[in-house]
Amino acid sequence: MESAQAAAAPRPSEPVPPADRLIVALDLPSATAAIEMVDELQGVCRWFKVGMELYYAAGNTVVTHLRDRGFDVFLDLKLHDIPNTVAAAIRTVSSTGASLLTLHAAGGEKMMRAAVQAASHPEAPRLLAVTVLTSMDAADLNATGVSDSTEAQVVRLAKLACGIGVPGLVCSPQEVAAVRQAVGQDALLVVPGVRPTGEQGSDDQARVATPAQAIASGASMLVVGRPITRATEPAKAAAAILEEIGRAESSGQVVVPGRGI
C-alpha cells in the first residue's frame, strides 16, 4: 500500500479514489475499541487517524498493528515544544511507519525548521502543520491575543509553514479555499470538521462543512470521526461519505485533485 510519503509527486491526470481521501479518526479510549472499529471498517477504509487519546492509551502498539494490516496511519500528536524536543519526537515516531504526523504551526519558524530537518529521511512521516484548531472561532483567537480574523490567521500560519518546507497543512473546511489559493496546488491539505450531508450537530467543532463542500473547496483529504465511529453501522456510514466524495469528484467542480496524496 502506497504511503503519502511515497506518493508525493503530483498526478494531476489521475483521478483520486475516494478511499484515498477519507481518514477515519479513531478517537477511542483503548486499543481494543480501536481495533474493533477497524475490523468493522475493513475493506471500506484504508486510512485511520491515531490521535492523542488513543496514542496515550496504546502507544506505538496500535500504530504498528494498523500498519501490519496494511492500513495507512495519520498520527495526530500536534507536536508543540522547543525545536530540539520536537525534532527528537519526530525521529522517535518515525519507526512506527506512520504516513502523516502533525505539529502546531504556532510553534514558530525555528521549531518547524527543526521538524522538517528531522523528517527529511525516507522513513519519516510526512509533516502536517496545524493552523487553527477547528474548535476555535474568532472570539477564542481574540482571547489569546490574535486580533485578525480566523481566516487571516490560518492563511498566515499556512504560508509560514509551507515557506519553511512543511509539505502539508491541517485547516478547517471554511478556510481551505483561501489556504489553497495562498499555498498552491502541491500542498497536502487535510481537513477535519467534516460532517456528512444531513448530519445534525457539530459536536465541539466550530467551523464545519460537508464532504462535498470541503473537496470542492480544495481539500486533499478529509478527517471524519464521530459520524462514522458512533454510527449504528460504521461501514455503511463510511461508505455513504465515500460516495459523497466520489460525487464531488465527478461533478467537475473540484478546485484541485488532491495533489500530494
**pLDDT recorded at residue 199:** 61
**pLDDT recorded at residue 1:** 43
Q: Would residue 159 show up in a list of annotated catalytic residues for this protein?
A: no
pTM of the model: 0.88
Domain range for 198: 18-250
In angstroms, the first-to-last Cα distance of the chain is: 12
Tens of pLDDT along 93-105?
999 999 999 999 9
Residue 255 included in any domain: no
Residue 169 included in any domain: yes
Sign of CA dihedral 245, 191, 58, 229: negative
CATH number of domain containing 75? 3.20.20.70
| Consecutive H or E run containing 130 | strand 126-130
Can you tell me the distance from the alpha carbon of 199 to that of 240, in angstroms, rounded to the nearest whole number?
Answer: 12
Residue 4 included in any domain: no
Total residues belonging to the chain: 261
**pLDDT recorded at residue 68:** 96
* Nearest Cα residue to 205 out of 239, 173, 177: 173
Residues of the chain with pLDDT below 70 are 1-14, 198-208, 251-261
Residue 72 is placed in which grid cell? 495507512
* Nearest Cα residue to 220 out of 244, 182, 192: 192
Residue 91 included in any domain: yes
Residue 257 included in any domain: no
Contact 226, 192 (CB under 8 A): no
- Count of the separate structural domains present in the chain: 1
Residue 19 is placed in which grid cell? 478511499
Q: Look-up: residue for cell 515516531?
A: 93
**pLDDT recorded at residue 261:** 60
**pLDDT recorded at residue 96:** 93
Can you tell me the distance from the alpha carbon of 7 to that of 20, in angstroms, rounded to the nearest whole number?
Answer: 11
Q: Helix 234-250 to helix 31-41 angle, to the nearest 10 degrees?
A: 60
Tens of pLDDT along 177-230?
999 999 999 999 999 988 887 665 445 545 568 899 899 999 999 999 999 999
**pLDDT recorded at residue 250:** 77
Query: Using alpha carbons only, how large is the chain's radius of gyration in Å?
Result: 17
* Nearest Cα residue to 50 out of 24, 28, 26: 26
Residue 140 included in any domain: yes
Residue 260 included in any domain: no
Residue 7 is placed in which grid cell? 506518493
Residue 13 included in any domain: no
Residue from 49, 78, 159, 236 carrying the catalytic annotation: 78
